[in-house]
Amino acid sequence: MKIKGKRAYYVYYFFLCLFIALALRIFYLQIFQKDFLQNLANKQHYRIIPIEGSRGKIFDRQGRIFVTDIKCYSVFADPQLASDPAKSAKVLAPLLGVSKEELIQTLNKKNRRFEWLKRKVSWEEKEKIKTLGLREVGMLREEKRFYPQETLASCVLGTVDIDNKGLEGLELSYDSYLRGKQGWVRILQDSASRQLILSPQAVAPQPGTDIVLAIDMQIQYWAQKHLEETVREFRAKGGAAIVMDAQSGQILAMANYPNFDPNNITKKSLKFIKNRAVCDMFEPGSVFKIVTLIAAIDSGAFQPQRRIFCENGEWKIPGTVLNDWKPFGELSYMEAFKNSSNIGVAKIAISLEKDMFYLYIKKLGFGELSGVDFPGEIPGMLRHYTKWSRTSSYIVPIGQEVGVTLLQLVRAYAAVANGGFLVTPSIVKSVRVHGFDKEVPLERYRVISEEAASLTAQVLIKVVEDGTGTLAHIKGMTVGGKTGTAQKYDPQVGSYSLTKYRASFVGFVSNFEPALVIGVTIDEPQKAHLGGTVAAPLFQRIAQKAIAYMKGEVKTSKQ
C-alpha cells in the first residue's frame, strides 16, 4: 500500500509540475510575447495592399475627355497555398500572357504570402482566370489609364506607369495634381486556408484633381491630320505644328508626327514619345529673319527709305560666300524681307551693333526657356555675341549658327501679332479644385513698341501677299508670316548638307479675334524642300479649318 501510495504521489506531483510549467509558459507567451506572436500571426494571415486613388481626368477646353480611368483587375497569388506550382503555371500562362517559367518562379516563393502575377487585366481575362478555381490566386479591382482619343495629342498628354504615376508629358508635369491619394485594404485567408478573402478593414482612396487644357480637341485633330498628310506627301522624317492664341499664349493645338498610341506602347513606339514642338532644336533658316526685321525697326537704326544692293545673288563675306536663292540687285528693306534675300537681310543686320542685335534675340525669347508648362523643354542654342566668329554677324541674322524650337518661333511671332508683348505659353487652362476651375495665370510683358510690331506685321503680310509665302494666303483673311528653308548641318562631312533640309513657316491671322499664330516645321522633306512649297500650304490648311470652326461654320466632329 505504501508503494502504491508513493506511485500515486509521484504521478500527482508530476502532473502538478507539468500544469504549473504549462501555465507559466502560457503566462509568458500571453504577457511577454503577445506583440511578437500577434505580428507573426498577422504576417501569416494578413497583407496590407495599397490602393491608388482614381487619377484625375484631363479635358480639352470645351470639356471633352482626353484622358480618364477605367476599371480593371490585377491578379495576385499566395505562394504558400500553391500545392503544385508547375500545374498552376501551365494553365495560367496562356491566360496571363506570362511565361510558364516566370510563373513557376513566383509561385515557388514559399516564404511570401503575396505576389503580383499580372497587373491591369481586362474583365474578360479576370473571368477566365476565375473559372480555373485556383485557391492560391486572387484578384483586386484597380484603375487603368485610358486615352479614348488614342494618338490625338499623345506627345503632349504623355504616359503613366503601371501604378498610374506620370512618366511623360502633362501626365508627368501635373502628376502632383492628377494623382489620387492612396488608400489600402487588408487581405487574409479563411480559417481553413481554402481561399483568399478581403478584410472589412480598409481606407478608401481619394480621387486626383482634374485639369482642363487650353487645347481644343477639334483644332488639335485638324493640325495633326494635315501634319501627317504633309509628312507622308513629302516623304519627310517628321514634323510638328502649333496653334496659339497670340494674346494669351494659350496653345490651342500642338501636333507631332510620327506619334504613338498611349493605350498600346511598344518598344517601336517609344522613339515617338518626344514632343518635337518643345524638345526638338533646329537651325531655323529664314523664319529667324523676323529678329533682324524687328531689331532694325524698333531700334530706329535702319532708315526705311534706304535701298540695299544685294550683289546679284553672291556676296563674299569673312569665311565664306553668301548666296541668295535667286539673283537680286537693289531692294528696299521691305523687298529684302518679302523676297527673303539672305544678302539683303545680312546687310541690314551688320548695320546694327552686334550687342544690340543680340539684345533683340534675347528679348524675343531665344536662347532661354519659354516657361511653358511641359517637362523637358530645351532653351535652344545661342552663343553670346562675344564668342561669335567673324562669319557669325552675317549668318546668325538669317537663321544659321543658332538653335531654336518651334515653340520659341511661335512665341516671337505672337509678339508681332499682339502688339509687342512676349507671352508665356500655356497648355493647361485651369485646374479643377473642389468643383471650381482655378485658372492658370496668363503672363506677358512688352518687348517691342506697338509701332514696331505694327510695321513688322505689315512687312510679313506683304510676304504672304506677293512674296515667298503666297501659298499661305487665305481668302478674306489678313495673313502674315515668313517661310524658312534651312540646310541641315551634317557632322559627318563637317558642313551643311546639300540634300537634307528643314522646311518651316510661321505666321499669323490678324483680322480675327483672337489673333492666331500658327507655326509648322517639316524635317527632311524629299519631294520638295522649300518652306514656301512644303510648309506654307500646311499653315493654310490648318488655319482655314481652325478659323471656320471658331466662327461656328463647321461641325465639331472629326472631318
Identify the sign of the CA torsion 462, 465, 468, 472.
Answer: positive
310: Cβ contacts below 8 Å, ≥ 6 apart: 324, 327, 328, 329, 330, 331, 336, 341, 343, 344, 347
Give the integer Cα–Cα distance in Å for 308 and 324.
14
CA distances from 105 to 82, 101, 116 (A): 12, 6, 12
Helix (H) or strand (E) holding 85: helix 85-96
In degrees and rounded to multiples of 5, residue 78 shows phi and psi of -105, 100
Identify the sign of the CA torsion 213, 217, 218, 219.
Answer: positive
Which cell is 376 given?
A: 523637358
544: Cβ contacts below 8 Å, ≥ 6 apart: 474
Q: Which residue has 510638328 as its cell numbers? A: 240
Per the residue annotation, which of 54, 286, 392, 426 is the catalytic one? 286
Give the integer Cα–Cα distance in Å for 252 and 263.
23
Angle, helices 450-466 vs 406-417, to 10°: value is 110
Residue of 114, 78, 107, 112 lying closest to 91 (CA atoms): 107
| Residue 376 φ/ψ region, left for φ over 0, alpha for ψ in the -120 to 50 degree band, beta for the rest | left
Say whether 286 is catalytic: yes
DSSP structure string for 237-286: SEEEEEEEETTT-BEEEEEEES---TTS--TTGGGG-S-HHHH--B--GG
Which cell is 73 given?
A: 483587375
38: Cβ contacts below 8 Å, ≥ 6 apart: none
Residue of 223, 277, 239 lying closest to 410 (CA atoms): 277
Give the integer Cα–Cα distance in Å for 541 and 223.
8
**Strand locations in 112-269 (E):** 115-121, 137-146, 183-189, 196-203, 210-213, 238-245, 251-257
In degrees and rounded to multiples of 5, residue 187 shows phi and psi of -105, 140
Residue 186 gets which letter from DSSP? E
CA 179, distance to chain mean position in Å, is: 17
Contact between residue 321 and residue 315 where contact means Cβ atoms under 8 Å apart: yes
The C-alpha R_g of the chain, in whole angstroms, comes to 34
Q: What residue type is 443 in one-letter code?
A: E
Residue of 390, 365, 393 lying closest to 379 (CA atoms): 365
By annotation, the residues acting in catalysis are 286
